[in-house]
Amino acid sequence: MLDVPDLIPLISQILNGLLFGAYYVMIALGLSMIFSLGGIVNLAHGAFYAIGAYLAVTLAPHIGFGGALIASPLAVALIGLVIERYLLRRFYTADPILGLLLTFGLAMVAEQSLRILYGAAPVPFSIPQALRGQVFLGEFVYSRYRLMILGTAVLCVAGLWVLLAKTAFGKVVRAGVQNPDMVGALGISLKPYMTAVVMIGVGLAALAGVLIAPIAGVHPAMGQEIITFAFVVVVIGGLGSFWGVVAAACIVGVTRGVAAHFYPAATEASVYLLMVLVLLLRPRGLFGERIQKFE
Amino acid sequence: MPLDTSLSRRTILKASAGAAALGTLGAPAISYAQSEAIKLGHITPRTGFLGPLGEYAVQAMQLAVEEVNAAGGVNGRKIEVIYDDSPNPQQASAKAERLIQRDKISALIGEISSASALAIAQVVQREKVLFINTGANSDALRGSDCQRYMFHIEAQNSMYVKAVGRSLVANGLVTGKKWYSLTADYAFGHDLLNVAKRFMAGNNANHAGDDLIPTDLADFSPFLLKIRQARPDVVILNLAGTQITNFLKQYAEFGLTFPVAGFGFDTALAWGAGPGNFGGIWPALWHHLVDTPNSKKFVAAFNAKHRRPPENQAWGEYCSLKIIAQSMAETRSTDPTKIVEHFEKGAKFDVLKSRESYFRARDHQMMTEMYAITALPQAQVKNQWDIFSSSPPVPGPNESLEVIAATEEENKCVFRSA
């Protein structure tokens, strides 16, 4: 039987994991939406995240961190628009392997472009003065800046949920995920919706990149640090499930924290182990819906 | 918009594997054919968590080659370097083999990862080609895994620990104190942790705990919470590559105030952390503020070319190329065996420091001065490069250069006869 004081470190890790999980949501939701509607597994998602971070570093001296927080995701969404319109669109009906190869290639091109433009060394960037400091909750300490990240993530999730669940736009997107042919038969073209979904998805990835830039190294390969994790979240949560992705991100965060507490060397590996377990016991993911076209 | 019905959720699983593969693909070799030239190979990680250092390595190599060739080359022949990239030990070994067998290089320079250097060492020993290791720190490479054809301009972990350890002891951070460590979870980190434990225990410090950190970890928050709960007197970092940048940023973010010290360091990672984030006492094999005429010349030439000062990884390639050029001129030969003998006889080299350096014959480790650097408080930082103050060279002018290196007892090397 553990004493209560012994449990405090573990509880801190669980709380911290939940908070960081919220951050993964921003990256994983976009990935999940693009896959659910377009059938494209966007391996370049991490690249958009990295571009978002680099744009923040470039723009912040001119328009401030707040300005960069808005401008950088918008700029990346526009890049997403161009890429969807001229590249991704050709692959929705093609063999999925081709889409994989395309986005794999895009990720490499983006990473190398960043390396050519900014160099391979991490680019210096710090938390804005106004957001520095910590919040203490008994034994638990959290940075004020991370609370801001948490707030932003919650706003994004809420906004996206309203968009998908409560608007006409969302209805078409959800219908398109379930049965694109029927949507087409009703005379609705999914093309502009797909463009919008890609813009929102990569814009969210860029926003996550901006948010991480002050607290983690900004370097060309930073996208690789999160892309595999984002996939794991999507797989665990279940395809097509909005809340599944949200729940999975929190579970992944907590798993990481608990592993760090008991067996730190497995901090990252624990997440993959969790994925294997979920796939064995529930191949559709925790909250995966039955989607006709994926069966 | 009809969708291909063959699409399955297995696709996304394959994609996850693909995402993991993204980090492991290397860039193709670039070679410039030229007859007559002396061919050398350079191999180092260009991507991944050590990629930032690999870039300095390549830039410094190019600068050194330009300088040697502008001065007439070696024995009337130009030097030509074939560059390649080593994202992991398997590729490091395969590419070293290709450079030797296909390109017929006379010597190989480079590497940063201790795991990859170990793989390369086996190839060069089999092929009898000289290899100068410029960035892999593991003591084991100079001990149980030592090879006759491998030399180390990079300092060994023991040198890093003992060099900065003196400053830590002087600052009262060791004797009778409680230390907590974070260690990079691969060959380098494991080796360094052993050396660190030996040093700290030898100076009566108590180990409060260690966490092994995956190499591509971006979020240190779980470990920062553990450090806070452990309340150590000093936090010791046995980290590598972008891990150091991530740690520095988040340690500042969480407002932890336990003194920080590192047993492994590269300046570029502190430069990349950003204003207000760099703290603590760290070891350096060389840094851009070393006050010797040749060091200043190197910094000025590198700065003119790349608009940033070089860091210690750049120093390693720059000096290695100069050492090879000088030795080939002195022996009037490109034969690796002759160069190895030349090194083993104790040839002295100017490596931009106040004392000349040499390779120690019994383990091929370069005996050279090091420095302990201390982060400046933010108010005293005037530009993005000069963010630390440096100790005088360690060991001091009246000491043997060997006093900071591992003793034979600590790290025994037996060269197997070829």
What is the value of ipTM here, to two decimals? 0.90
- Using the beta-carbon criterion (under 8 Å), do B2 and A181 form an inter-chain contact? yes
Chain A contact for B7, CB < 8 A?
Answer: yes
Q: Which chain A residues have a beta carbon less than 8 Å from that of B214?
A: 265, 267-269
- Return the SS3 of B225: helix
Q: Which residue of A has its CA nearest to B310?
A: A121
Amino acid identity, residue B30? I
Q: pLDDT by residue (tens digit) across A239-248?
A: 778 999 999 9
How far is it, in rounded angstroms, from Cα B353 to Cα B286? Answer: 8
Cis omega (within 30 of 0) on the bond before B392?
Answer: no
Residue B38: closest CA among B317, B314, B321, B320:
B321
CB contact at 8 A, A227 and A46: yes
Lowest-confidence region among B2-6, B15-19, B132-136, B394-398: B2-6
Residue B3: the pLDDT is: 43
CA A285 to chain centre: 17
- pLDDT confidence tier of residue B35, bands split at 50, 70 and 90: very low
- At B2 the pLDDT is 43
Contact residues on chain A for B3, CB-CB shorter than 8 A: 39, 92-93, 180, 293
Residue given tokens 């860039």 in the structure block: B27
Q: Which residues, 6+ apart, have CB-to-CB distance to A197 below 8 Å?
A: A33, A34, A37, A38, A173
Q: How confident is the model at residue B34 (pLDDT cuts 50, 70, 90)?
A: very low
Sign of CA dihedral A211, A217, A220, A224: negative
Cα A205 to Cα A24, A31, A47, A72, A213, distances in angstroms? 10, 9, 9, 10, 12
Residue range B228-253: mean pLDDT, rounded: 95
Is B389 at the interface with chain A, CB within 8 A? Answer: no
Question: For residue A136, what are its two tokens?
Answer: 């203490």
Secondary structure E strands in B171-302: 178-184, 206-213, 234-238, 260-262, 281-284
Q: Which of B4, B255, B277 sits opposite A39 (nearest CB)?
A: B4
Note whether B392 contacts A: Cβ–Cβ < 8 A.
Answer: no
CA angle A185, A191, A197 (to 5 degrees): 120
Among chain A residues, the shortest Cα distance to B268 is held by: A121
Q: Which residue of B has its CA nearest to A276?
A: B13
Query: Which chain A residues have a beta carbon less than 8 Å from that of B46?
Result: 120
Give me B32's structure tokens: 């410039």
Q: Show which of residues 52-91 on chain A sit within 8 Å of chain B, judged by CB atoms.
A: none
Segment B168-194, tens digit of pLDDT: 999 999 999 999 999 999 999 999 999
- Sequence ranges of the domains in chain B: 38-156+290-367, 158-289+370-404
Helix, strand, coil tally for chain B in percent (to 5): 40, 15, 40
- State the DSSP H helix or E strand holding residue B150, giving kind and residue range, or none if neither: strand B150-152
Neighbours of A90 (CB within 10 A): 12
Which residue blocks in chain A are alpha helix, DSSP H? 4-38, 45-86, 96-118, 144-166, 168-178, 180-185, 191-212, 222-237, 242-262, 269-281
Residue B133 β-bridge partners: B110, B152
For residue B51, the chain A residue with the least C-alpha distance is A120
Mention the CATH class of domain B38-156+290-367. alpha beta
Flag whether residue A167 sits within 8 Å of chain B, measured between CB atoms: no
| Contacting residues of B for A20, CB less than 8 Å apart | 219, 221
- Give the pLDDT confidence score for residue B6 in this predicted structure: 46
CATH architecture type of domain B158-289+370-404: 3-Layer(aba) Sandwich (3.40)
pLDDT at B55: 95
Domain housing A236: 4-294
Contact B280/B170 with Cβ under 8 angstroms? Answer: no
Could you tell me which chain B residue has the CA closest to the CA of A127?
A: B253
Contact criterion met (CB below 8 Å) for A198 and A80: yes
The number of distinct structural domains making up chain A is: 1
A95 and B214: CB-CB below 8 Å? no
With an 8 Å Cβ cutoff, is A6 touching chain B?
Answer: no
Chain A nearest CA to B347, separation (Å): 34
The answer to whether the Cβ–Cβ distance between B48 and A221 falls below 8 Å is yes
Q: What is the pLDDT of residues B133-160, one digit of tens each?
A: 999 999 999 999 999 999 999 999 999 9
Which of B225, B250, B305, B384 should be substituted to probe chain A, the one whose Cβ sees the most A Cβ atoms within 10 Å?
Answer: B225
Spatial separation of the C-alpha atoms in residues A271 and A142, rounded to whole Å:
23
Q: Phi then psi for B206, rounded to 5 degrees?
A: -105, 130
A95 vs B contacts (CB less than 8 Å): 4, 6
Strand ranges (DSSP E) for B58-144?
A: 79-85, 107-110, 130-133
pLDDT interval class at B32 (50, 70, 90): very low
For A233, name the nearest residue in chain B, comparing CA atoms only.
B16
Model confidence at A140, pLDDT cuts 50, 70, 90, reads confident
